[in-house]
Amino acid sequence: METLIIAFIKIVIVTLVLLTAVAYSVYAERRVSAFIQDRLGPNRVGPFGLLQPIADVVKLVFKEAIVPRDANKPLHDLAPVISLTVALATFAVIPFGNTIQLFGREIKLIIADVNIGVLYILAFSSISVYGIALAGWSSNNKYSLMGSLRSSAQMVSYELSLGLSVVGVILVTGSLRLDQVVLNQTNYLLGVIPAWNCFVQPIGFITFVVAAFAETNRQPFDLPEAEPELVGGFHTEYSGLKFGLFFLAEYAHMIVASAVITTLYLGGWHLPYIDFLDLAPMLMSIIGILTFATKVILVLLFMIVIRWTIPRFRYDQLMSLGWKVMFPMALLNIFITGLLLLIFS
């Protein structure tokens, strides 16, 4: 019972924080993109435009939700819900801190401490394609359908390299538990360099990040909603709150992807060298949470900046990159990792 209450509290807090973060990541994207383009971006609502996300949400909620006449209404309604739910649910297995001592008990800073966290993430990220595929198909619109077809093909192509990249991490860690993955990165290589997987697995890191971009439909891989070609892609026929849900889902995916990258490759909640200071455990826990948040934000910013740096891939380029570059590289990574492990153990 107690475990349930604690889990419930954790779920509520994490969901709220995540949704807020999603809203503000939209704001961050608009501001950063404006700065990159010599503009100011939204700065009218509240100080520095900080209330802009709220205004956006209010606007989206009050807009009329238009459903095409020949659309499959239940699926049309269901698609954005799937997208957002999957995005949020993935976060359940991410350790956003080590442990914290509260009210005389030790609480693990992870919602679901499952022993197959990595598989869970891979599984859920694959489900999210259903949201897009259903949205495209149920809209009964050629652009939507083309968007969703592209998305499905893209997902299938990149899921592979994503999964294979992670295999390297699993080999190094020897566990599918995500908290174990993080703990494994708290060591130091040669006593100085933090043993983050991005240093241990550079090829895997790159392939994973690229695949993660593709999985979240971010530029340069946002072909499912390529505006110049497909109007709005899979969400052409969405408006109002349902469009808002897709919008939220996209950014939630971004945050989750950032969290996964942080956890798997960037040392999770671990701040290097802090463990030498011998601080109070309570402080350490808080620093851990803040470190995790900072790392996620930095990865997010990286994703945003990349969006305004690299132009969109052509569809054939996307496919050839996925199958001819990413896939062999991920395989190569596993091979090298296995070989090195075999030699050194």
Partner 1 sequence: MKDNGSVKRVIRKEDLTFLQKAYITEIAKGLRLTIGKIFQPKFTHNYPDEPWPFQPSFRGRPVLVEEDGIERCVACGLCSRVCPSLAIEVQASETELEKERYPIRFEINMIRCIFCGFCEEVCPEEAIVMSDEYLLAFYQSRDAIYGKDKLLMSTERLAKRLEFLRENR
**C-beta of residue 172 within 8 angstroms of C-beta of residue 197:** yes
- Using CB under 8 A as the binding rule, whether residue 298 contacts partner 1 is answered as no
**C-beta of residue 233 within 8 angstroms of C-beta of residue 144:** yes
Closer to partner 1 at the Cβ: 35 or 335?
35
**C-beta of residue 205 within 8 angstroms of C-beta of residue 164:** no
**Binding string to partner 1 for residues 206 to 245, with x set by CB under 8 A, is what?**
x---------------------------------------
Q: How many residues bind partner 1 (CB under 8 A)?
A: 13
Query: What is the spatial distance between Cα 213 and Cα 313, in angstroms, rounded to a whole number?
Result: 12
- Using CB under 8 A as the binding rule, whether residue 282 contacts partner 1 is answered as no
Please identify, among the stretches 1-9, 32-40, 118-126, 287-295, the one whose residues bind partner 1 according to the rule CB under 8 A: 32-40
As measured in angstroms, the least distance from the Cβ of 90 to partner 1 is 26
Among residues 9, 12, 39, 54, the one that binds partner 1 under rule CB under 8 A: 39
- Using CB under 8 A as the binding rule, whether residue 195 contacts partner 1 is answered as no
**Binding string to partner 1 for residues 300 to 329, with x set by CB under 8 A, is what?**
-----xx-xxx-------------------
Closer to partner 1 at the Cβ: 122 or 305?
305
Cα-atom radius of gyration of the chain, to the nearest Å?
A: 21
Mapped onto helix, strand or coil, the DSSP state of residue 267 is coil
Residue with tokens 């859920």: 124
- Residue 205's nearest CA partner among 156, 267, 144, 248 is 267
Query: What is the spatial distance between Cα 98 and Cα 285, in angstroms, rounded to a whole number?
Result: 6
Between the alpha carbon of residue 93 and those of residues 87, 120, 256, 293, 321, the distances in Å are 12, 8, 10, 16, 30
Please identify, among the stretches 10-18, 38-46, 150-158, 290-298, the one whose residues bind partner 1 according to the rule CB under 8 A: 38-46
Q: Which residues bind partner 1 (CB under 8 A)?
A: 32, 35-40, 206, 305-306, 308-310
